Structure 1
Amino acid sequence: MVKVLISDKLSEQAVEIFRGRGIEVDFKPGLAPDELKAIIGRYDGLAIRSATKVTADLLEAAENLKVVGRAGIGVDNVDIPAATGRGVVVMNTPFGNAVTTAEHAIAMMFALARQIPQADASTQAGKWEKSKFMGVELTGKVLGLIGCGNIGSIVADRARGLRMRVLAYDPFLSEQRATELGVRKVELDELFAEADVITLHTPLTDATRGVIDAAAIAKMKKGVRIINCARGGLVVEDDLRAALDSGQVGGAAFDVFVTEPAKENVLFGHPNVVCTPHLGASTTEAQEKVALQIAEQMSDYLLTGAVSNAVNVPSVTAEEAPILKPYMKLAELLGSFCGQMVEGPVEAVSIELEGHAAELNAEPIKAAGLAGLLRPQVDSVNMVNAPSMAHQRGIEVSVTRHDREPDYQTLLRMTARSQGRTRVLVGTLIGGSKPRLVEVQGIAVEADFGQHMLYVRNYDKPGFIGALGSALGNHQVNIATFHLGRRDVGGEAIALVEVDQPIEDALLAEVQALPHVVRVNALSF
């Protein structure tokens, strides 16, 4: 039975979803790293929030792990390269807490504008300092968004409802989408120069780390207010504190910090700073939503192969999964055939789709084909890590769709180049589900993919088939199926022989020594 471990606090309804889908689940929040490492090898799936750290060391012990599900958007606590290298899918729920986090940013903006936390503390302390807490209106002010994706776009919508003018810096934001949102797309320096309030809604990457530092702050309006409900590290905290002290920055509201839990921080104690303990996603609705979503996504993947919201593998919907499965299997088999035939490292591979195949999601088919291609040379490769492994090895990968009519309803063609030579294989599906090889190196030959096969390239001469059969008989190897193809009479030909047992080196040597044999390979699928 498929087993999942929930190692952080998650809604009990998530547990019921797993069990309702027939998945065994253990709910063990609060495990120490050593305790988690000791048991992780038993599980196919790991469901987490932000507390569990999925490190390379933990993944090394997770010998059966197939998927990590993060209930929430941030995956900073997961070593993505290590997971990908081990073929583990990493999923998140990027939409489950978008509204909640956006609302928190808006709330922080109001708190800064009207000094609500400071005024509350003063009033409850018995003071009545009405003149001390002079606020500002948000209406008519310019809001600068750094990042205008799922959360940023919701913030933009709410801000426009407040009659604010919204600028957005996001390299991935199109002009058309900006127009739809009612925001003006600008470069970063323009945003710094014009914004009265700046709020960050971008992931933490090498490109965004420290995006607001002393140099950036110097370009901003005096008295600007800065809000960060996205990721610690986007703002250089020491630089911000200095700007708060000088008055260049009028106020800051932070929900996230470089070091969390943040028991101490350079921003703490400043009178113009509002801080919350990473509450962006902390509403009852959001917690419930992301827990249920991640349970459904993980169940779909473990039971059907459907991939949703994965950060390291192409998505495959639940509807696509059963349709794509035979095509992915065909691609994997063609890749495996190529991988067992090439000599030396693969330099380039192309996958061509014709007929029905050309209408499908090509990314999973490509990933499966690369996994098959690399498996004869690389341990522990699957469709999750195959694309990155191909990239690391400098393999050029291309996918082409053709709208021409093939001889079959659907065709996959794989071409692999190695040491200046190419291997070309073509396959189809019989009955829509059974992989069938239909062409090798331009020679038509119809053959199933048997577990053990002998591939022989020879010249079409009388007596060859008898000699080949005798060689197999001499080694007590039984023939299951025998498939032949030739380019022309007396010319280059191919024999594909399915046998009932693995082929030993002595038999290969004897077949290679037969007259008219060009090459011979033992294949296994």
Structure 2
Amino acid sequence: MPRVLISDQLSPAAVEIFRQRGVEADVKIGLTKDELLKIIGDYDGLAIRSATKADKDVLAAGKRLKVIGRAGIGVDNVDIPSATARGVVVMNTPFGNSITTAEHAIAMMFALARQLPAADVSTQAGKWEKNRFMGVELFAKTLGLIGCGNIGSLVAERAIGLKMKVVAFDPFLSPERAVELGVEKVELDELLARADVITLHTPLTDKTRNILSAEALGKAKKGVLIINCARGGLVDEEALRAGLDSGHIGGAGFDVFVTEPAKENPLFGAENFVATPHLGASTLEAQENVALQVAEQISDYLLTGAVSNALNSPSITADEAPKLKPFVALAEKLGAFAGQMVDPGLKAIEVAYIGEVAKLNVKPMTAAALAGVLRPMLAEINMVSAPAVAKERGVTVQESKQELSPVYDSLMRITITSDAGEKSYAGAVIGGVPRIIEVKGMELDAPFSPAMLYVNNLDKPGFIGALGMMLGESGVNIATFNLGRVSAGDDAIALVGIDQMLSEPVLAKIQALPHVKEVRVLGF
């Protein structure tokens, strides 16, 4: 009988589901790291929320561990690369607490607009300071959404019901989807200049970290209210405190912090600052939903091998797995390549299957490709949520099949349409290994490396030597070197597998080489 450890507070209904499905579940809440390390080796599965830290030490100690299920969306507390390296599937429950989190953001907005927490404390102290607490109406005010995906769109719907004007900054939100939601799509600077209230609903990635920096906050309208019920780290906390103290920022409501549990924080004690201890998903309904969902998913995987809502493994049935596995891996890597090359204004993604692969069930492959394309901006996306996320943002997704392939037994091509036009990338499985065989119409044959340097240049003598010398002088070791070109002297590309990521100064030096048009570092 498979054994699962429940190390964070879950609904009792989850334990009952495990029991009914034939999975032994032990509930041990509040374990220290040392205590967890001592017992995790006895379990096949781990069911958690946000308190348990499944880091590389825990994963190394989990010799039997096959699956980690997160009852909720964020997986900041799970070392996904270590889990992947050890063959541990990491699952989440992406939609179980969306409404609850959206409602919490709206509650924060009301609390700030009417200064409810401070007024409550004052009134219960017997002060009756009626003239002290002068609030503002939300009616006819402008709400600025940073992120308009699943939760952001729910907040927009509720704000529109309050007769607010809603503007949204989201690179993946299409004009058509914006019209459907009743929001106005804008760039970040315009949102900062217009919004009376700003609420964040985006994952924490390298691109979104401190998206509300000191500079951005300085551009915001005086008196703006800022709400963060998404992820700590999206707002520069020190800069926000300075803005609150100066009066430039009218108020802030935070449910999440850079360091949690937040025993101390630069924002604590600021006037008109409201804080809650990461309660966004804390309703009876949401807790029940995510608990039931994670118990079902873990049970299915341990008993049948079925994978649902996985962040590091494709969702494939046990029967399909042997045939689909190499092509799903290709789709995700090819999608990740395209996603790191995508231009602003993503409009459409087309995945073409040519040859024998067209005869298979392509849905898991398309989902893997979408997850790969979208993940650079949406870190927590997975194969299950990727199609829904693309639809929410108005991104058109198309599949095409052609059973005859002139060169390869099976070929996969991803075409990305953005404001800048179309770009396509093709790959194939050769010897069981995914390889990239075409970039923007130029043929080549390159393996996917954990770190890759992409260079678009003019095909002129001396370029390869200059690039190699530059990398050598910078202490960068070359693992693979593959070239493609349109014709002699015309457009060309180099895909270089490297043993480490490159620093900005090194990238600048490569960009400055003669005949170089574009340089990017890609990670897989």
Normalised TM-score (structure 1):
0.65
Do 2:355 and 2:403's aligned partners in 1 also have CA atoms closer than 8 Å?
no
8 Å contact 2:229–2:254 — kept in the other structure?
A: yes
SS in 2 for 1:226: strand
User: Residues 80 and 194 from structure 1, CA distance in 2 versus in 1: closer, same or farther, beyond 3 angstroms?
Assistant: same
Cα pair 1:331 1:365 within 8 Å, conserved: no
Secondary structure, aligned partner of 1:108: helix
What is the number of equivalent residue pairs in this alignment?
364
What amino acid does structure 2 have at the position aligned with 1:150?
A: N
Aligned partners of 2:48 and 2:68 also within 8 Å: yes
Check conservation: 2:326, 2:429, Cα contact below 8 A. no
| Structure 1 letter corresponding to 2:268 | F
1:84-483 to 2 correspondences below 5 Å: 84-316=84-316, 321-325=317-321, 327-328=323-324, 352-354=355-357, 356-357=359-360, 359=362, 361-362=364-365, 402-404=401-403, 415-416=430-431
The equivalent residue for 2:335 is: none
Amino acid at match of 2:402: D
Task: Give 3-state SS (helix, strand or coil) of 1:252's partner.
Answer: strand
Distance 1:69 1:417 in 2: 29
Q: Secondary structure at the match of 1:207?
A: coil
Counterpart contact for 1:358–1:403, Cα < 8 Å: no
What is the identity percentage for the equivalent residue pairs of Structure 1 and Structure 2?
66
* Alignment check: 8 A CA contact 1:145 1:152 kept: yes
Q: Is the 8 A contact 2:156 2:166 kept in 1?
A: yes
CA distance in 1, matches of 2:287, 2:120: 28
Relative to structure 1, the CA distance from residue 3 to residue 268 in structure 2 (aligned partners, 3 Å threshold; closer, same or farther) is: same
Rounded Cα–Cα distance in structure 2 between residues aligned with 1:268 and 1:360: 48
Q: CA deviation at 1:362?
A: 3.1
Alignment TM-score, normalising by the size of structure 2: 0.65
CA 1:405–1:183 in 2, change beyond 3 Å: closer, same or farther? same
Match of 1:371 in 2: none
Q: Counterpart amino acid of 2:320?
A: L
Does the 8 A contact of 2:237 with 2:266 survive in 1? yes
Match of 2:332 in 1: none
SS of residue in 2 equivalent to 1:361: helix
Structure 2 residue matching 1:46: 3-state secondary structure: strand
Offset of residue 223 of structure 1: 0.6
8 Å Cα contact 2:354/2:410 also seen in 1: no
SS of 1:132's partner is: coil
Q: Which has the larger radius of gyration?
A: 1
Distance 1:309 1:140 in 2: 39
2:123 partner letter: T
SS at match of 1:144: strand
The alpha-carbon deviation at position 329 of structure 1 amounts to 7.7
AA at the equivalent of 1:208: T
| Alignment CA distance shift 1:207-1:259 (3 Å) | same
**Mapped contact 1:46–1:65 kept (Cα < 8 A):** yes
CA RMSD of superposed structures (Å): 2.9
Once residues 301 and 290 of structure 1 are traced to their aligned partners in structure 2, the CA distance between those partners, rounded to angstroms, is: 16
Cα pair distance change 1:405/1:212, threshold 3 Å: closer
Q: Match of 1:12?
A: 12
Paired residues of 1:324 and 1:360 also in contact (CA < 8 A): no
1:358, 1:402 within 8 Å by CA — same for their partners in 2? no
Misfit runs of 4+, over 6 Å: 329-332, 363-366, 410-413
Aligned to 1:494: none
Query: Match for 2:364: what amino acid?
Result: N
Amino acid at match of 2:431: A
Give deviations 1:87-120, integer Å, cap 9, x for gaps.
2111111111111111010000000001111111
Unaligned regions of 5+ residues in structure 1, if any? 333-349, 367-383, 385-399, 423-525
Assess if the C-alpha contact under 8 Å between 1:241 and 1:266 holds in 2: yes
The alignment partner of 1:102 has SS state of helix
In structure 2, what residue type is equivalent to 1:404?
E
Q: Which amino acid aligns with 1:353?
A: E
Q: Offset of 1:135 from its aligned partner?
A: 0.7
Distance 2:57 2:257 in 1: 25
Instruction: Find the aligned partners of 2:9 and 2:173 in 1 and give their Cα distance.
Output: 35
Cα distance, 1:31 vs structure 2: 1.3
Q: Which amino acid aligns with 1:62?
A: G
Does the CA-based 8 Å contact 1:327-1:365 persist in structure 2? no
Question: Over residues 120-155 of structure 1, what are the superposed CA-to-partner deviations in whole Å (9 max), with x where a residue is unaligned?
Answer: 111111111111111111011000011111111110
In structure 2, runs of 5+ residues without a counterpart are: 329-352, 370-382, 384-398, 412-427, 438-524
Aligned-pair CA distance for 1:315: 2.5
From the superposition, tell whether residues 201 and 365 of structure 1 become closer, same or farther in structure 2 (CA, over 3 Å). Answer: closer
Contact 1:351 1:415 in 2 (8 A): no
Give a deviation string over 1:435-454, Cα, whole Å, max 9, x none.
xxxxxxxxxxxxxxxxxxxx
The Cα shift of 1:292 comes to 0.7
For 1:28, the equivalent position in structure 2 comes to 28
Alpha-carbon distance between aligned partners in 2 of 1:141 and 1:37, rounded to the nearest angstrom: 51
Contact 1:67 1:298 in 2 (8 A): yes
3-state SS in 2 of match to 1:298: helix
1 CA distance for matches of 2:33 and 2:410? 49
Deviations 1:313-359 (A, max 9, x none): 2233xxxx155245348989xxxxxxxxxxxxxxxxx9953564165
